[in-house]
């Protein structure tokens, strides 16, 4: 059963902001890990220690185990509404689209747009008349030409990428007019309830990694997630 973003952020707030680190990183959390991950708990706990030396096939296998519990989208309502209001142009790419929930919403709101979703596990096209396309692609080396999409959106995906700066550079390469990024506000801990390798507990934690152009970006906290928008060119 998929867990909604509101619930995820409520649990995260309790575990990360209310509990002291000494308790949060103690072995008392091991039972919670097994409750969340089942028999995959040891692999999930060790993921961040080994991901740098894992093959793409091994990384993909770890994420394949999450597909049964994934929802259509990890976006909270505030971030979803902001994206729908702020995409521009006639060509839109959702990079790291998951099961395609955002692409489906964009197709409803922008029926004449050229919509593409990219992910390591491409989604099945939703039953919509304009037929969004889904392709296989890894963040950091997506199979698109320079400046090929007016708006590039990447939500709850960069947390999973070791080469964060390289992935952002690739998104900027593809975007012609606007780049939108959403990441979870999250503190790192020893026993994770996800497979994240990047963590952004503060606004500056994200901005210091993205290195935005002065005067051409916004970055704010929306219901527990950081929403970042950058205008290019």
Residue 94 predicted with pLDDT over 70 = yes
- State mean pLDDT over 84-113: 94
Q: What tokens were used for 164? A: 């964060």
User: pLDDT-based confidence at 75, cuts 50/70/90?
Assistant: very high
Residue 83 predicted with pLDDT over 60 = yes
Phi-psi region of 188 (alpha: psi -120 to 50; beta: other; left: phi over 0): beta
Other C-beta atoms closer than 10 Å to the C-beta of 182 total: 25
Q: Are 171 and 120 in contact (CB under 8 A)?
A: no
Strands 175-184 and 217-222: unpaired
Question: Tens of pLDDT along 184-212?
Answer: 999 998 887 889 999 999 999 999 999 99
Q: Are 116 and 92 in contact (CB under 8 A)?
A: yes
Residues 6+ apart with CB under 8 A from 53: none
Q: What is the pLDDT of residue 126?
A: 53
* Residue whose token pair is 């708990």: 41
Q: Which domain holds residue 167?
A: 1-233
Residue 118 predicted with pLDDT over 80 = yes
Residue 50 predicted with pLDDT over 50 = yes
Q: Using DSSP, state whether 63 is helix, strand or coil.
A: helix
Q: Residue 216 is part of a domain; what is its CATH number?
A: 3.40.50.150
Question: Tens of pLDDT along 34-49?
Answer: 887 788 788 888 899 9
Other C-beta atoms closer than 10 Å to the C-beta of 93 total: 26
Number of structural domains (the chain) is: 1
Instruction: Supply the DSSP symbol for 124.
Output: P
Question: Tens of pLDDT along 135-152?
Answer: 999 999 999 999 999 999
Please state whether the predicted TM-score (pTM) of the whole model is above 0.85: yes
Residue 157 predicted with pLDDT over 70 = yes
- State mean pLDDT over 166-180: 98
Alpha helices, DSSP H, located in the chain: 5-12, 21-24, 30-37, 41-50, 56-64, 77-86, 101-109, 164-174, 203-210
User: pLDDT-based confidence at 1, cuts 50/70/90?
Assistant: very low
């Amino acid at each position: 059963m998929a867990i909604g973003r509101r619930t995820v952020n409520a649990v995260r707030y309790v575990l990360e902001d209310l509990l002291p680190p000494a308790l949060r990183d103690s072995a008392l959390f091991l039972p919670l890990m097994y409750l969340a991950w089942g028999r995959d708990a040891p692999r999930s706990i060790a993921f961040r220690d080994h991901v740098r030396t894992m093959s793409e096939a091994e990384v993909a296998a770890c994420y394949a185990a999450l597909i049964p519990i994934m929802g259509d989208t990890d976006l909270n309502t505030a971030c979803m509404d902001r994206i729908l209001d702020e995409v521009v142009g006639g060509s839109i790419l959702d990079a790291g689209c998951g099961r395609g929930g955002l692409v489906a919403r964009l197709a409803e709101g922008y029926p004449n747009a050229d919509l593409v979703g990219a992910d390591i596990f491409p989604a099945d096209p939703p039953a919509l008349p304009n037929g969004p396309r889904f392709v296989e692609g890894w963040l950091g080396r997506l199979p698109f030409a320079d400046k090929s999409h007016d708006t590039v959106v990447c939500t709850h995906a960069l947390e999973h990428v070791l080469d964060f700066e390289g992935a952002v550079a690739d998104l900027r390469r593809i975007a012609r007019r606007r780049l939108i990024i959403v990441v979870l506000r999250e503190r790192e801990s020893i026993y994770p309830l996800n497979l994240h390798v990047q963590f952004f507990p503060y606004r500056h934690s994200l901005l210091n990694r993205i290195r935005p152009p002065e005067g051409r970006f916004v970055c704010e906290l929306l219901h527990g997630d950081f929403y970042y928008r950058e205008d290019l060119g």
